Amino acid sequence: MIVRNALPFSAVSVLAAAFLASPLHAQSSVLLDTMTAELNRAAASLGKNAPGKDSPAKDNNDARPPYYISYAAHDTWAVLTGAEQGAILSSNADHARTADIVVRVGDPILDNTHGTHRTSAIRSVPLPLEDDPNAIANALWRGTNSEYGNALQTWLQVKTESQVRAKEEDTSPDFSPNFSKDSPDSTTTSLSVAPSGPTAPSNVDPGRLDPIHIDRDQWNARVRALSVIFRDYPHVYSNLTIFSVQDDTGYFVSSEGARIVTPHQLARLVILATTRAADGMDLFRAQTFEAKTADGLPSQKDLEAAVRALSVSLEQLRTAPNTEPFDGPALLSGRASAVFFHEVLGHRLEGQRQRGDEEGQTFTKDIGTPILPSFLSVADDPTLATFDGTYLSGYYTYDDEGQRARKVELIQDGVLKTFLMSRQPIASVSSSNGHGRSQPGQMPTGRQGNLIVTSTRTVPESRLRQMLIDEAKKQNKPYGLYFEDISSGFAVTTRNAPQAFQVIPLVVYRVYTDGRPDELVRGVSIVGTPQAALNRILATGDKREVFNGECGAESGTIPVSAIAPAMLVSEIETQRQQQGTARPPILPPPTAINNSGEGR
């Protein structure tokens, strides 16, 4: 079973995944040139024993050269500060360099990545932090040599399995040609050599970024000031305020001739807080602010207001009534709708889920047929850096296989057009569309970037609320549900389990049909099956909202965005969330102490 994490951060994932690095960074031509030179050397050396074009390929390991090699390095500098209850927990700066080495043995039709062996083609190695060509080349040499041996062994296993297993339903090749714009096409099975030197063609991102300059003392003070606000809310039992700035440059070279440099900067402030209801239910709220640089983050005044609003919301949730199972009409805010589409639809449009005997293949054979109401269209556009002034986490210029990012029209007027593709082809789509993505150390797969939902059936959001009430009356329901904020969810896409989804809302209201005030409830979990849920959408709002976050799947955790309007559905099913048994703290929290040592 593959379970996908939803978009937002948790305290654990933020602290584990954030890079700790230095605030100044400059791109390294030494690193790029050394990667190219060592790849050329490996290609020439490992190909020495290759059979000639008129000679049959030998089956012994020594005579089987790789047909493809790539190096993908990340040179990452970042700063990270965390605070709780007005005190700094950590304040770190660091610098890290790593390289992912991919070696493919066999040919594009059948190679060592086939089926369940996809991860056999990649090895990650640390790189020296200094621009020392000899030291960098040595690290790449060791990694390439080890990975080549592993690829050879796996290739022999793949060939054996292909002879004893039943024929697969999708017999597509294991690797598609390189059709990326500004990159040389590679349609042969022989290993070519990456150009080097000043005349070599390069796919260098033109957006060379200025080094980041961060006043760490100032930001430590700002984070501390935000965190101290939680002292005014004694029922917020734990809290964490995290500020991070990352300056990452990706370097990619391949035996097809690619030389790509992709600079990327991101500033992020994450606020997390938890409480516990009297019946033992744990509750949390999280809010994330992102910008290209720290100067683009909200003002301190606006951030302080956000911390107080989040704290008040937790206090209210703590005393709100627990939910009951519900089946009826619902209205999702734009942010909630964005998460809903990401989980319920987006993952099922990822290319690799359309092949393999273990995949449920919900929409595999539906290209050209309606899968959504006709007033809805869906695209994924990672080339979009901002939307209405909001920075988009899913922005990138080249994917992790060296393919240029591009906008993909997935669904037009309700009709499925294509899937999100890496260089792993499927029966209906033979090439990448720039969506091969992964976190460092993982093999890329087709993944979402910026998922964008548009609608031709829009109404003002105030009208949507009345439509919700009208629909509840029509179904003889005492209320409908309004989902204001959603934190997370997961989607099951494999055949060995029901093709279902679960989404965890944070803020949910009952909207009564008799005119009573809306009632906040807690413990709600949205469940269902995708085809039923997607075809119960009645109308959408007239403005779209952005949800930024992180998504985890088999190729690791990557930044993504989703953009969608508010959405009215005729029927949604909810169940109660799992409830803890621990009671609220027996010992009351300590009283805040002023500078004189006296409680206040």
Cα–Cα dist 266/245, whole Å: 6
Q: What's the confidence (pLDDT) of residue 424?
A: 95
Q: Which residue has the tokens 């992912």?
A: 100
User: Does pLDDT of 57 surpass 80?
Assistant: no
Query: What are the structure tokens assigned to 533, written together?
Result: 């849920």
- 10 Å CB burial of residue 561 (0-12, 13-18, 19+) is buried
Band (pLDDT 50/70/90 cuts) for residue 504 is: confident
Report the candidate in 424, 333, 407 with the shortest Cα–Cα distance to residue 111.
Answer: 424
Report the candidate in 151, 156, 95 with the shortest Cα–Cα distance to residue 118.
Answer: 151
Same domain, 200 and 330: no
Same domain, 33 and 180: yes
Read off the pLDDT of residues 251-278 as tens digits, 9 standing for 90 and up: 999 999 999 999 999 999 999 999 999 9
Q: What's the confidence (pLDDT) of residue 198?
A: 33
User: Does pLDDT of 201 surpass 80?
Assistant: no
Q: What's the confidence (pLDDT) of residue 142?
A: 97
Q: Is residue 356 part of a domain?
A: yes
DSSP state of 577: P
Q: What's the confidence (pLDDT) of residue 10?
A: 36
- Triad 15, 545, 543: Cα angle to 5°: 175
296: left (phi over 0), alpha (psi -120 to 50) or beta: alpha
The mean pLDDT of the chain is 85
User: Does pLDDT of 467 surpass 80?
Assistant: yes
| Averaged pLDDT, 556-570 | 96
Read off the pLDDT of residues 117-174 as tens digits, 9 standing for 90 and up: 988 899 999 999 999 999 999 999 999 999 999 999 999 999 999 888 878 888 899 9
Sign of torsion, CA 425 427 430 436?
A: negative
pLDDT more than 90, % of the chain: 66
Query: What are the structure tokens assigned to 161, written together?
Result: 């399995």
Q: What's the confidence (pLDDT) of residue 425?
A: 95
Domain-terminating residue out of 174, 204, 234: 204
DSSP state of 60: S
How big is the chain by its Cα radius of gyration, in Å? 26
Cα–Cα dist 41/71, whole Å: 13
Distances (CA, A) of 192 to 40, 46, 184: 9, 12, 11
Q: Is residue 209 part of a domain?
A: no
Q: Which residues contact 368 (CB under 8 A, 6 or more apart)?
A: 415, 416, 417
Q: What's the confidence (pLDDT) of residue 470?
A: 97
Q: Is residue 229 part of a domain?
A: no
Q: Is residue 585 part of a domain?
A: no
| Averaged pLDDT, 58-82 | 84
The two beta strands, 376-380 and 386-387, are unpaired
| Averaged pLDDT, 75-96 | 94
Same domain, 198 and 340: no
User: Does pLDDT of 1 surpass 90?
Assistant: no
Distances (CA, A) of 350 to 50, 133, 425, 437, 451: 36, 39, 11, 11, 12
Q: What's the confidence (pLDDT) of residue 17?
A: 35
Q: What's the confidence (pLDDT) of residue 69?
A: 97
| Averaged pLDDT, 482-494 | 75
User: Does pLDDT of 181 surpass 90?
Assistant: no
Q: What's the confidence (pLDDT) of residue 585?
A: 85
Q: State the residue range of the domain holding 31.
A: 20-80+97-204
Same domain, 381 and 513: yes
Q: What's the confidence (pLDDT) of residue 586?
A: 83
| Averaged pLDDT, 381-401 | 96
Read off the pLDDT of residues 225-249 as tens digits, 9 standing for 90 and up: 999 999 999 999 999 999 999 999 9
Alpha carbon 317 to chain centroid distance?
28
Read off the pLDDT of residues 359-368 as tens digits, 9 standing for 90 and up: 667 888 899 9
* 101 contacts 137 by C-beta, under 8 angstroms: no
Instruction: Give Dmax over CA atoms of the chain in angstroms.
Output: 89
Read off the pLDDT of residues 401-445 as tens digits, 9 standing for 90 and up: 999 999 999 999 999 999 999 999 999 999 999 999 999 999 999
| Averaged pLDDT, 175-200 | 48
User: Does pLDDT of 600 surpass 60?
Assistant: no
Same domain, 194 and 334: no
Q: What's the confidence (pLDDT) of residue 208?
A: 56
Q: What's the confidence (pLDDT) of residue 545?
A: 96
The structural domain count of the chain equals 2
Q: Is residue 134 part of a domain?
A: yes
User: Does pLDDT of 463 surpass 70?
Assistant: yes
Read off the pLDDT of residues 518-537 as tens digits, 9 standing for 90 and up: 999 999 888 887 778 888 99
User: Does pLDDT of 381 surpass 70?
Assistant: yes
- Lowest average pLDDT, out of 8-12, 372-376, 380-384, 559-563, goes to 8-12
User: Does pLDDT of 211 surpass 70?
Assistant: no
User: Does pLDDT of 348 surpass 70?
Assistant: yes
Q: What's the confidence (pLDDT) of residue 180?
A: 56
User: Does pLDDT of 199 surpass 60?
Assistant: no
Q: Is residue 277 part of a domain?
A: no
pLDDT more than 70, % of the chain: 83
Band (pLDDT 50/70/90 cuts) for residue 210 is: low
Q: Is residue 135 part of a domain?
A: yes
- 10 Å CB burial of residue 461 (0-12, 13-18, 19+) is middle
Q: Is residue 493 part of a domain?
A: yes
Q: What's the confidence (pLDDT) of residue 546?
A: 95
Q: What's the confidence (pLDDT) of residue 193?
A: 43
